Amino acid sequence: MDNAVSAVTGRSDARATINAKLSDEDLCQIFMTLALLDIPSLERPQGWFLQVNSVCRRWRYVALGYAELWAISAGSFPSKVMTNLTIERARRSALRFDGHFEDHAGPGYVLTHYQQSLLEKYGDRLRSVVHDDYQDWSVLLYRLGTLPRLEMARIWDDSDSNAWDGDVVIHAPRLQGLYMNNVLIPFSAPSLRSLRVDFNQSNQSVPPDEPADDPEYQPIPTMFPTRKLIGFLQHSPLLEKLVLTGMGQLPAFNLPPVEDLSVALPRLQSLDFSEAFTAMEDLLNRLQFPPETQMSIWHTGPQDNDTNSVFSFDEDQA
C-alpha cells in the first residue's frame, strides 16, 4: 500500500496508468493510509490534505464524498477553518479527535482550545479522544455522562483528587482502549480490552532551586487506590491487558476482606507493573485471572513506553 501511495502521489497526471486502474474504493484506501501516515503537525499543519487535494479533479471528487476520511481527522488539523471543514464533510460519521502532533518539544498529540470546546457539542459522536497534556477533565466528562460511540481515549488529568466520585460513572459502552495519566476516571466500560494507568507516586515534588536529596522535599508515598481500581475493573470483565505504573506504594487502610472486594478478569492475558510495591500482594489477591496470564514487573521502567501500544484500534469498526 505504501508503494502504491508513493507511486500515485508522485504523479500529477490524472491519466497516469496506475491512476486510471484504481477504483474509487482503491482511492479511498489510499486516502485513509495517507491520513494515518501524514497526520497534521506544527511543521506540516495541512498534513495529508495537500497530497489528496492537489493530484487531480477525480481525487478531489472521491475524497469529498468519503465521509470517513474526514471523520478520522476531525480533531487533527490545528486550523479552526480545517476543523470545521472536516466535521462538515464527515456528515454523521463518528468523529476522531486525536489531536495534531506537537513537534516543537511538545507533549505528543494535542487538541487546540477550539477543538476542546467542541467535545461537549459532539459528545454523542466521539469515536476517540487524545490529548497528551494535563487539564481538568472532570467537569466536561460529568456533564457528558455518556459517550455512546467512544472506542479509544488517551487522557492526562490534573483535576483535584476529590473531583472524581467513584459512585458516579461515565458510561462508555463501546470503549476498548483507554490510557489515563495521573487519574483513575470512573468509566463504566464493559467492552474495554486494554487499560493503562500512569499515576504519580508522590504528592510532593522538589522545587527547582532545592537539592534533590533535601530531606524536606523527599517524595511522600501515597496509598494505592485499591477500592477505586477494583471498582473500575468490575465494570470491565472483558479486559485483556492491564498496565499500572506509579500507582502508590502503601496499602489502603481498612480494606474489606478479599471475598468482599475483588474482581474476576477471566480474559486477562497480560498484567504489567512498573515496579514492585507494598500493596502488590494485596492487589494480586483481589484480582482473579487465568493461570496462563503473563505478569511482568519493570524494574528500570517499561520496555515499551509508547502509550499508543495500549490500544488496538480497528479502522474497520465504525
Residue pLDDT, tens place only, 81-93? 999 999 999 999 9
pLDDT at 18: 65
Q: Where are the domains of the chain?
A: 1-97
Averaged pLDDT in 10-residue chunks for the chain of 318 residues: 52 58 89 91 89 85 93 95 96 95 77 96 96 93 96 92 85 97 92 91 47 56 83 96 81 86 96 82 93 84 50 46
CB of 129 within 8 A of CB of 154?
Answer: yes
pLDDT at 272: 93
What does the block give as the cell for 291? 493461570
Write out the chain in H/E/C secondary structure. Answer: CHHHHHHHHCCCCCCCHHHHHCCHHHHHHHHHHHHHHCCCECCCCCCCHHHHHCCCHHHHHHHHHCHHHHHCCCCCCCCHHHHHHHHHHCCCCCEEECCEECCCCCCCEECCHHHHHHCCCCHHHEEEEEEEEEECCHHHHHHHCECCCCCEEEEEECCCHHHCCCCCCEECCCCCEEEEECCCCCEECCCCCEEEEECCCECCCCCCCCCCCCHHHCCCECECCHHHHHHHHCCCCCCCEEEEECCCCECCCCCCCHHHCCEECCCCCEEEECCCCCCHHHHHHHEECCCCCEEEECCCCCCCCCHHHHCCCCCCCC
pLDDT at 248: 66
Residue pLDDT, tens place only, 94-153? 999 999 988 666 668 999 999 999 999 999 999 999 999 999 999 999 999 999 999 999
pLDDT at 103: 66
pLDDT at 305: 46
Residue pLDDT, tens place only, 278-296? 788 889 999 999 999 999 9
Taking all residues of the chain, what is their mean pLDDT, rounded to a whole number? 83
